[in-house]
Amino acid sequence: MATVVAHQVIVFVALLLIAIQLVIFLAIDSAVSANALQKIREEIQVGERIFLRLLAGRSQQLITAASILTSDFAFRQALMTGDRATVASALNNHGSRIGAAKMILVALDHKVLADASVSGEASAESLFVFPELVNEAAASGNASAIKLMDGVPYQLVVVPVFAPAPVGWVVLGFSVDARLAAELGALTSLDVSFATWQKGNGWQVAASTMSPESRERLLGVLRQTAPESAAASIPDLSGDHHVASASTLALGPDGGVVAVLQRSLAEAIARFSTLRMTLLALAALSLGGTIIGSVMIARSISRPVTALVEFARRLERGDYEQGPPETRADELGELASAFNNMRLAISAREQQIKAMAYHDALTGLPNRALFNDRLHQAIGVARRLSHPVSVMLMDLNRFKEVNDTLGHHVGDLLLQEVGMRLRGALARASDTAARLGGDEFAVLLPAASTDMAEEVARKILRALEDPVVFEKRLLDVEGSIGVATFPEHGEDPHVLMSHADAAMYHAKRKRLGCAAYDAKLDVEPEIDSRLALSAELRRAVENNEFVLYYQPRVNLANGHVREVEALVRWQHPDRACLLPDEFVPFAEQTGYIRDITHWVVGAAFAQTVRWRAQGLAIAVSINLSVRDLLSAGLPERFGELLQRHGASPDWFTLEITESAIIDDPERVLDTSAQLHKMGFSLSIDDFGTGYSSLALIKKLPVGELNIDRSFVTNMATSPDDMSIVRSVIDLAHNMGLRVVAEGVESAPVLELLGRMGCDAAQGYHICRPVPGGQLEEWLASREESDHQAGFAARRSEEEGQ
C-alpha cells in the first residue's frame, strides 16, 4: 500500500511540475514573442516615418537638380530658338548626369515639346499624361510625385523654365528600383519593397531588398488580400514570417504604387533562443530534484495515510469505538485529530438520534416504541412472578377544537402541560407515562391491579381539572381513560392495548372519565359506526368525494416556492370536510387506503401535468402509507398512472414514514429501489417520531428527510427542540440528504431554520393547505409581492445614491 501511495505521489508531483513548467515556458515564450512583435511594430512605425522623410528629402534633391537644368542659359537659349533636337540633347545630357531615366519638356499648354530617355530617344509631340503635376508646379513653383509609367514606377519632379517669364516645364523621372529600395532599406534597417498594381495586370513587385522566396510570398499575400478594385486601401500584410506596413505612394484609375516595409519575425526572436534552452535545462533539473524529494516525502507520509484510510473505513462501517492512530505533530496529526473529532461528533449525534427514536420530542415522554418495549418486558416479568400489569389509554376531549380555533402552537403547549401533569400524578418510579401520538397518552403500571389502576386514573383526572392558562386564557383540560389489566383482560400486549382502547372509547362515549375493560361493554354502536364508515369509504372512492389540497414549501436559500405537498381531504356529504387523521387510520386497517392512494396519486399526476402546461414548474410530494409500501405491484400501478396522465416521475417525491420502514424492511427496501429506479425521488417523512435505525435508513435510496412538526414548532422557545433540529439537519447533510422542516408556525422558527442551513420549510406561517386553484392565486400573489419588494429595494438604492 505504501509503495502504491509513493508511486502515486511521485507521478502526481512529476506531472504537476511538468504542467507548471510547461505553463511557465509557454507563458514566457508567449511574452517573448509578444515583446518581439511589439518591438518590431515600433521599429516599423519609426522606419515608416524615416522612409517617408527620406522620400521627401529625395524629392527636394531631385527638384534642386532639375532646377539647375532649367537655369542653364544654353538650355533656355535652345528652348527659345525652338530647336527641338538641341533641347532633347540638353535634356538627355543633363538627365544622364543626375541619373534621370525620364526627361520631358512640357509646353504651357501641356503638350510634350521633347521627351528624351537616357538613350536619347525622343517622342512625338503629345499631351503630358500627368497634367495635375504641371498644375501643382504652376501653383507652388515645383512638384514631385511617384507615378506609374508603362507599368514601371518613377519618381517625377516638375520645375518651370523661365525666359524670364515661364515658357515651359521640365519633367525628370527617376526609377524606383532595387537600388533605391536598398538605399532606403539601409537607412531604415527594414526590408523595403515597391509593389505596383496595373489595371489588367494585377500586382507586381517592382523592387525589393528581400530574397526571391520572400518576394514571391509578399506577391501572393498582395494578390490574396488586396483586390485590384481596392488598391487604395491596402490591408495588413503581416504574416507568420514578417511584420509589415504598407503605404500607398501613387494611385490612379489605371494603377498605383505601394511601398511595403517589413521586418523578419525569426530574426527578432532568434536572440531569445538561448533563454529557451536555459529554461528547458532548469525545468529538467527541477523535475529531477522534485522526483527525488517526492520519493522521500511519499515514503514519510504513506504509512500514516494508510492508517488514516483504514480508520475512515471503520467509520464508514459504523465503528466509532476506536480512534485514529497517533501521528506526529504535523498536518497529518491535525488531520487525525479532525477525524477523531468527527468520530466523536457523529457518535454523539447518533446516540442523540437513538434517544429521539424512543422519546416524544414535544412532551419529553417515552413514545410508542419505548412504551411497547416496556410493556412486553413488564408482561414477561409478570408471567414469571404471577403479578398483574395494568395499562391505561387516555385521550383528551375536544383537543381538535383547540387546534382548529387557537392553532397548533397552543395545542402543543396544552400537550406539554398534560405531559407534565401526567408525570406528576404517577407515584412509583416503575410507572411509565408515554405519548403515543396526537392527543393520545398511555400509562404502564407494573404490578398494579385494575382497582389500583382506576385509582391512578382518577388521580390523573383530578390533576387535569385545573385549567391551563395561556395568554390570559383559561383552557379546560378533560380526558377519557380506559384501563385493561394482565392477565384478566388479555395476555397478549396487543390484545391488552386493544381492550384498553375499547374501554377508553366507552368512557368517552358515556362521559365516565374512566372505565375498565369489560367484555360485556356495549360496543355495538361502535361496530355499527365502523361498518358505516367502511361503507362510506367505499362510496367515497366510487363517487370521487376526495379532494387534494396543496401546502407550499419555501426554499430557504432563495425564498422560491417550487414544491408543494399533496394532502387529501374527504368532502363527506354529511360531516363536511374530514382531515386525513379522521379517516386514514381506519382506511389503513380496512385496506381501503390502497384505493385512496391510487386516487391521490392519479389526481396529483393530473394536476401537475396541468400546471406544467401552464408554465408552473412545481414538484409535488405524495405521502405513502405502510400498506401502500407493503402491497405488491405498487411500482407497476404507478407506472400505469404515469403513462395514463403523461407525467414524468422526476416531478414527484414519494414520502415514506419511519413506521413503514421498520414493519417489513426487506419489502420496503425492494419497493423503494424500484420506485427510485423509475425516476421518483424518495423522502423519509415525520423523521424522529418512529424508531427506524440509521443503518436501515442508509440503505434506502432517499434524497430527502422531513423533520416532524413536533420538533420544529416550538424550537424558537425550546432549547431541547432547537438542539434536536440542529442535530437532525447536520446528520442529514452529512448523509447527503436534503432537509425539509414541517410545522413552521412563526417567523422566528423560519429564521432559525434558515440560519441552521435547513433546505426547505412548510407550515401555517407560510401558507395553509389550499386547493389547486387557490394555490395558483397564492403563487401569483407571492410572485407579485416579491417583484414589488425587489422594485422598492432597487428604487431605495437609487435614491440613496
CATH of the domain at 399: 3.30.70.270
Q: Are residues 372 and 303 in the same domain?
A: no
Mark whether 504 and 567 lie in a shared domain.
no
pLDDT band at 111 (very low <50, low <70, confident <90, very high): confident
Per the structure, the complete domain to which residue 257 belongs is given by: 179-269
Q: Which range has the worst mean pLDDT, 623-637, 661-675, 768-782, 787-801?
A: 787-801
Q: At what angle do helices 178-188 and 2-71 cross, to 10 degrees?
A: 120
In a domain, 104, yes or no: no
Q: Which segment of 52-66, 224-238, 454-468, 628-642 scores lowest on mean pLDDT?
A: 224-238
C-alpha pair distances (Å), 60 with each of 106, 176, 568, 781: 20, 16, 103, 85
Q: How would you class 350 by CB atoms within 10 Å of its CB: exposed for 0-12, middle for 13-18, buried for 19 or more?
A: middle
User: Domain containing 547 — which CATH number?
Assistant: 3.20.20.450
In tens, the pLDDT along 724-734 reads 899 999 989 99
**Residue 524 near residue 579 (C-beta atoms within 8 A):** no
Distances (CA, A) of 714 to 58, 263, 419, 511, 742: 99, 82, 15, 32, 12
**pLDDT above 50 (res 230):** no
- Give the residue with greater pLDDT, 163 vs 713: 713
Does 62 fall in a domain?
A: no
Q: What is the largest CA-CA distance in the chain?
A: 164
pLDDT higher than 90, residue 466: no
> Residue 575 burial by CB count (10 A; 0-12/13-18/19+): exposed, middle or buried?
exposed
pLDDT category of residue 126 using cuts at 50, 70 and 90: confident
Is the domain of 646 the same as that of 554?
yes
pLDDT in tens, 405-432: 677 788 888 899 999 999 999 988 889 9
Neighbours of 465 (CB within 10 A): 10
**Number of domain units in the chain:** 4
Confidence of residue 605 (pLDDT cuts 50, 70, 90): very high
**Which residue, 343, 346, 342, 340, is CA-closest to 327?**
340
Q: At what angle do helices 2-71 and 73-81 cross, to 10 degrees?
A: 60
Which residues lie below 8 Å from residue 339, measured CB to CB, with a gap of 6+?
Answer: 308, 311, 312, 315, 324
Q: Tell whether 280 and 421 lie within a shared domain.
A: no
Decide if 692 is inside a domain.
yes
- Which tens digits make up the pLDDT trace of 167-200? 788 888 887 877 877 877 777 778 888 888 887 7
pLDDT tens-place string over residues 671-688: 889 999 999 999 988 776
For residues 362-380, average pLDDT: 90
Q: Is 754 domain-assigned?
A: yes
Domain boundary among 224, 251, 269: 269
Looking at the structure, do residues 677 and 596 belong to the same domain, yes or no? yes
pLDDT in tens, 309-350: 666 677 666 666 666 666 666 666 666 677 667 767 776 777
Are 581 and 477 in a shared domain?
no
User: Whole-model pTM above 0.75?
Assistant: no
Same domain, 623 and 718: yes
Residues 659 and 550 both lie in one domain: yes
